[in-house]
Amino acid sequence: TTRHCHLHLIIVIILACCTRWLYGLPDGRATCRSVPGLTKDQVELCYKASDVTAAALEGLDMAIRECQIQFQWHRWNCSSLSTKSRNPHASNLLKKGYRESAFAFAISAAGVAHSVARACSQGRLMSCGCDPSINRKTLNKNLRQSLDKEKKQFLQYLETNQILTPEEEKKLERSKIASRWKWGGCSHNMDFGVEYSKLFLDCREKAGDIQSKINLHNNHAGRMAVSNNMEFRCKCHGMSGSCQLKTCWKSAPDFHIVGKVLKHQFRKAILVDQSNLGNGEPVVVLKRARNKKSNAGSAGNNGDANLDAVDVSGALLAAGNPTDLDVERGTRQTSADKNAARMARKLETSLFYYQRSPNFCERDLSADIQGTLGRKCNRNATTSDGCASLCCGRGHSQVKERRAERCRCKFQWCCSVECDECHVEEWISVCN
């Protein structure tokens, strides 16, 4: 259960502190003090488990980089998250309720969970190791079913076709060999990563108002984007790559996949009615219907047309305990119950926001908005990276850019590649 996972995490953190003291390892206080913007609880957690916190900070860096990739051609390009403290939560943007703020909360929580889980499997942390909680029987059954599917298809094919091509014979042999595999490797400890992400980030939200609940929900949605997309990875063993035996393990997805998932949720984010903020009443949100004609110039289309009311109070209350969204098993479910459960599952991974976003055209330091002045654009494009959209109607200028790049690369025996540095000049378009 969640409570047991939380208790286990506290125990291993205490053990990590004792191990660090016994072996005379540094307590990490200097590292913890070097990151401005941490709350008192975060600093205390950092002192107790500085190695895990270091992995969490790596996850925040990874989240910022992925955010910049996903939004590089939008008016808001995540530059407001690149603070000097390496802590995106120090940005004034996260004090707002914008759709972009929701994405920032979600991808930050996802980055911490992903990075800590990966560090566990790499043996970098004293508090955790490989995932010990995998149900091997269930995984073995599911994986065998998928591996035997191709073999079954070939047997059906043989009933009507007695002659196989050489390629089909090889494929049939591979499907027979594929049934011989074992569970091994070092699965990423996602349970530990998720729990530490909760401890490290959710402790910032103590107000108990709707704004804090929305932030907690977006944190949870970010972690779900990682845990819901875990992958099975296998490695072949055998003479000359014959794959006579496969070793398989469970791995966190490439973080670029997580970024794409959250970008998709960003486009479908749900607007919470501000009239209900802080009064304790059921939360009514306004969910914009899909509009085929989206505004390519803005990071998100914040149009007011086609709004439907949806109650998400249960989703917010269950942000810290996702099992509250589930319908009790063993009970007879009516169609209304099934629809409610389906809506709850959908809302669990959705992003919530409560303020309409500005256009991000002009600089606004109060919200860490840099504006689009001087941004590179494509003068011939009509999409979000086009000058007409990115420059917000202010026009653009042509400037000559001089950059250095590697050229005339040669392989040197043995074993390196040496390149010259060449300077290239080209005309580019930038926003006025």
Structure confidence at residue 235 (pLDDT): 78
Quick one: pLDDT band at residue 114, thresholds 50, 70, 90? very high
Helix, strand, coil percent values for the chain (each to nearest 5): 50, 15, 35
Structure confidence at residue 340 (pLDDT): 73
Rg (CA), the chain: 26
Residue 398 belongs to a domain with what CATH number? 3.30.2460.20
Count of domains for the chain: 4
Q: Measure CA 161 to chain center.
A: 47
Quick one: pLDDT band at residue 206, thresholds 50, 70, 90? confident
Least confident of 188-197, 248-257, 286-295, 305-314: 286-295
Q: Is 155 found in the same domain as 104?
A: no
Structure confidence at residue 56 (pLDDT): 92
pLDDT in tens, 327-371: 444 455 677 767 777 777 788 899 999 999 999 999 998 889 999
CA nearest to 361, candidates 34, 16, 25, 74: 74
Kindly give the interhelix angle for 99-121 and 50-70, rounded to the nearest 10 degrees.
Answer: 130
Q: Is 125 found in the same domain as 150?
A: no
Q: Is 397 found in the same domain as 311?
A: no
Quick one: pLDDT band at residue 237, thresholds 50, 70, 90? confident
- What is the rounded average pLDDT of the residues 294-317? 48
Q: Is 145 found in the same domain as 61?
A: no
**Domain span holding position 311:** 270-353
Give a yes or no: residue 251 inside a domain: no
Q: Is 124 found in the same domain as 79?
A: yes
Q: Which of 230, 262, 295 is the last residue of a domain?
A: 230
| CA separation for the pair 129, 420 (Å, rounded) | 44
Range picked from 32-46, 265-279, 292-306 for highest mean pLDDT: 32-46
pLDDT in tens, 13-45: 555 554 444 333 344 566 677 777 888 888 888
| CA separation for the pair 428, 74 (Å, rounded) | 18
- Does residue 187 or residue 373 have the better pLDDT? 373
Quick one: pLDDT band at residue 289, thresholds 50, 70, 90? very low
332: left (phi over 0), alpha (psi -120 to 50) or beta: beta
Cis peptide before 415 (omega within 30 of 0): yes
With H, G, I as helix, E, B as strand and everything else as coil, classify residue 141: helix
Give backbone dihedrals phi and psi of 9, rounded to 5 degrees, phi first.
Answer: -65, -40
Q: Is 7 found in the same domain as 73?
A: yes
